[in-house]
A = this chain, B = another copy of it.
């Protein structure tokens, strides 16, 4: 078996992707807002398809995402790639078990992104001065881990259709938690190859499964827009449960 997807060196910034402003990010808890504020090193805007950092690279910065989508992934020696999770507006990114060691995964923007940057020194100093933030970070990390476990179940114990359904509902719900007013259509900046590398499938099989979901009138995915046509049936297929993501909370 073994699916790969060779990653070519894409250097071309792509404002191509019709994904625009994503949902507002949620403001930080007021109590901590002021504190965190003073350690920011300002905002950056990064075009689509750029690396924030790469596996094996030393990189101590921590980010908060204001707008845009980012994907985190690991690569295999055989050229394969496994996407670990998508980072959405409001999410926190760059914290790992050991900040002075090389990153254990890569982060690449899917769309143009606006980020709030905490250089490592600032970040560490902030934690030293405000130790109660440590627990915040622990909660956040635990929540990210929970999502990862959901992915594990999805890839390890479901068939292609169920996996697709899960991914769609997951992203839909995550956006919805941040902005309850969103419609049934959400931006979807990933390619089918990205989906494949998220779900442990091949591009070809994703395409076929997608067709089948479309023909059954469950979802529609085209032009980088995903429309949920039959939420109930999708959630039925994949056993998706809202409580899965319910502990979503605003971040730093």
Q: Residues of A at under 8 Å CB distance from B? A: 1-5, 7, 19, 22, 24, 74, 76-82, 84, 95-98, 101, 104-105, 127, 131-139, 141-146, 148-149, 151-153, 155-159, 197, 199-200, 239, 243, 246-247
> Within the assembled complex, what's the spacing in Å between the Cα atoms of A79 and B148?
20
Q: Is the CB of A138 within 8 A of B95?
A: yes
Q: Are A247 and B149 neighbours in the complex by a CB distance under 8 Å?
A: no
Instruction: Let me know if A77 and B159 touch, CB within 8 A.
Output: no
> What are the 4 tightest A-B residue pairs by CB atom distance, in nearest-first order?
A134-B135, A134-B134, A156-B200, A4-B78
Instruction: Answer whether A77 and B157 are a contact pair too, CB < 8 Å, given A131-B131, A144-B145.
Output: no
Contact: B155 with A239, CB < 8 Å? no
CB pair B239–A146 under 8 Å, yes or no, is no
Q: Is the CB of A152 within 8 A of B84?
A: yes
Query: CB-nearest residue of chain B relative to A79?
Result: B4
How many angstroms between the C-alpha atoms of A3 and B152 in the bound complex? 14
How far apart sit A132 and B146, CA to CA, in the bound complex (Å)?
A: 23
Residue from B76, B132, B148, B157 in contact with A145 in the complex, judged by beta carbons closer than 8 Å = B148
List 7 A–B pairs whose Cβ atoms lie within 8 Å, in order of A's numbering: A2-B158, A4-B79, A96-B146, A145-B145, A148-B152, A155-B200, A156-B197
Q: Are B159 and A82 in contact (CB under 8 A)?
A: no
Contacts of A138 in B (CB 8 A): 95, 134-135, 137-138, 141
- Assess the A101–B19 pair: CB atoms within 8 A: yes
Given A137-B134, A200-B156: A96 and B142 interface contact (C-beta under 8 Å): yes
> Complex Cα distance A153/B80, Å?
9
B-chain residues with CB within 8 Å of residue A159 when the two chains form the complex: 1-2
